[in-house]
Every structure is written in C-alpha cells, then in structure tokens.
Amino acid sequence: MEKFYFEKPSLTRKEEAIEYLNEHVKYNSEINGHGGLKKMLSDSSYTYEKWLENLVLIQDKEYAESINWVPSSTFFTIRKSDNKIVGMVNIRHYLNDHLKKISGHIGYGIRPTERRKGYAKIQLYMALLEAQKLGLDKVMIDCIVSNVASEKTIQALGGVFGEQVYDEVNDYTLNNYWLNVDECINKYKDIYEQYIYRGDE
C-alpha cells in the first residue's frame, strides 16, 4: 500500500517542484494548493528561491496582514515509495473577509499524472490533521460548481454544503463546504490513517 507524508518545501526539491508545476502546463490543468509557486510561470524574475522565502514570510501574521492576506502553510505531499511529489496543499490559518466567501481555509491539488487514485482524499485527510494542529475547529473549503472531483473529495471527508457564492473577479460560481475538523478526522480515520507515513516504518 502506498503511504504519504507532508513535507515543507525546501531547496532540495527545486527541480522536482518545477517539474510538478510544468506538468500542469503540459496537461493544461488547473493548479491549486501551490502557495504562490504558479507565479513562476508568469513572472520570469520570480524564482523558486523567492517562493521559498515568501513561504517563510507568509507564516508571520504581521507580514501576511500587511499584504492583505493571512498566515498560511504550504506542503508537498510526498509518496513514500518513490519519494515523489504527488500533490500540494495550502492551509490558511484563519479567514479574512475575502477568504470567508472565496477560497476558505484549504487549497489543494494532485498532479495530473497521479489523479483518480484516491490521493486527493488521503491528502485532504492529512490537511485536516494539520488544521487540527493549528487549533482550527471548523474549516471551509470551496470548489467551482463544475469541479466534480473536488466536490466529491470534500464530501468524502464529511464536508457539509454551506452556501453558493459568485466570484466576480474570475466569473465563476463556487460551492462552499464546512468540515468540523475533529468530527471528520474521527469519522474517517479508519479509512485514511493507514495511508500516512509517520517516519517509523
């Protein structure tokens, strides 16, 4: 059985992270949970090193709020068997007025060539464990109404529909879901806990 763990981005994964990013371009796919890495595609002066610096800065409340954002943590989801990045997750430590309506607490994605293997569900369970560590009781996650895969992922972990919101900037409609962190972890731990690598095997 494949096992997974979260890893904080570092210089060690530079080539691999860029390859992860480029795979989305190759497959013309949306990328989520990247914590700003995508900026490398549109801004040639934005380097992987700058992204790493920004990931450290953005964890600081004062800095994050000074740029109208909130502190957040970004993780690579690593598959233990081949040490490969299969997904990325970005967790916002709390919500501001914008995030309450759009984007919520958790953004995530699985690389195109590793989709439809159940990885997004495992990854979301892992994100809930991180949310629990941050002391979050409930988390909001949204998805574009047509994003069936994401909707099913959220529902598989116990997401309860909250409201529908229109995102004027991007011209799409989103469904917001809420997950009670402790309840969802308890309810689904028998299914997902077995997929987590905790460094003791």
Smallest distance, ligand COA to C-beta of residue 200, A: 25
| CB closer to ligand COA out of 52 and 151 | 151
Smallest distance, ligand COA to C-beta of residue 69, A: 18
Q: List 148's β-bridge partners, or say none.
A: none
| CB closer to ligand COA out of 30 and 65 | 30
Q: List 196's β-bridge partners, or say none.
A: 4
| Cβ neighbours of residue 98 closer than 8 Å, sequence gap 6 or more | 68
Instruction: Transcribe 44-106 into DSSP letters.
Output: TT--HHHHHHHHHHTTSHHHHHHTT---EEEEEEEETTTTEEEEEEEEESS--HHHHHTTBSE
Smallest distance, ligand COA to C-beta of residue 111, A: 7
| CB closer to ligand COA out of 9 and 87 | 87
DSSP 8-class letter at 22: H
- Interface residues with ligand COA (CB under 6 A)? 29-30, 32, 108-110, 115-121, 143, 147-150, 152-153, 156
Smallest distance, ligand COA to C-beta of residue 109, A: 3
Smallest distance, ligand COA to C-beta of residue 41, A: 15
| CB closer to ligand COA out of 7 and 50 | 7
| CB closer to ligand COA out of 142 and 185 | 142
Contact indicator for 128, 136 with CB cutoff of 8 Å = no
Distance set, CA 90 to CA 32, 49, 141, 168, 176 (Å)? 8, 18, 11, 23, 17
